[in-house]
């Protein structure tokens, strides 16, 4: 699923692909599944899940916070992927969650934070 989404980001989600399996470094020990830039040049984090997980929302929020705390890392990735002339607009950011199973916990958990995530 990840490879297909990354190849079709522009046509399906109006986003430009930046990176796959982007490391958050040894201290944070994470990997963001896909990074993209929206049509408005905002950072987009995409996470894929095949199984139900109660960690989905916290993990996504962690990555969104991490990106805003490590703007330089994201901007370098954008410039490598899309060219040095591309500027990131930090006024908004988005997290896309592409999952097979969505639990009641995840549904209820998003009500209070959707305006921060999307």
Quote the CA–CA distance of 68 and 118 in Å, as a whole number. 14
> Which residues have C-beta within 8 Å of that of residue 84, sequence separation ≥ 6?
none
CA dihedral 83→22→59→112, nearest 10 degrees, is 10
Query: Which pTM does this prediction carry?
Result: 0.78
Residues 6 or more apart in contact with residue 71 via CB below 8 angstroms:
88, 90
- Class of domain 2-117 (CATH, top level): alpha beta
Angle between the N-to-C axes of helices 104-111 and 56-69, in degrees from 0 to 180, rounded to the nearest 10: 40
Report the C-alpha gap between 33 and 28 in whole angstroms: 15
User: pLDDT 10s per residue in the chain (118 long)?
Assistant: 889 889 999 998 899 999 999 998 777 778 999 999 999 999 998 888 776 666 777 788 888 889 989 999 999 999 999 999 999 999 887 777 766 555 555 555 555 544 444 3
């Amino acid at each position: 699923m990840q490879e297909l989404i990354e190849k079709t980001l522009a046509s399906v989600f109006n986003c430009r692909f930046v990176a796959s399996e982007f490391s958050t470094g040894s201290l944070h020990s994470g990997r963001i599944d896909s990074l993209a830039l929206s049509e408005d040049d905002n950072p987009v984090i995409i996470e894929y899940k095949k199984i139900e997980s109660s960690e989905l929302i916290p993990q996504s929020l962690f990555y969104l916070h991490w990106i805003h705390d490590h703007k330089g890392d994201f901007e370098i990735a954008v410039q490598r992927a899309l060219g040095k002339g591309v500027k990131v607009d930090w006024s908004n950011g988005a997290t896309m969650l592409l999952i097979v199973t969505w639990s009641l916990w995840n549904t209820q958990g998003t009500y209070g934070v959707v305006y921060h995530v999307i």
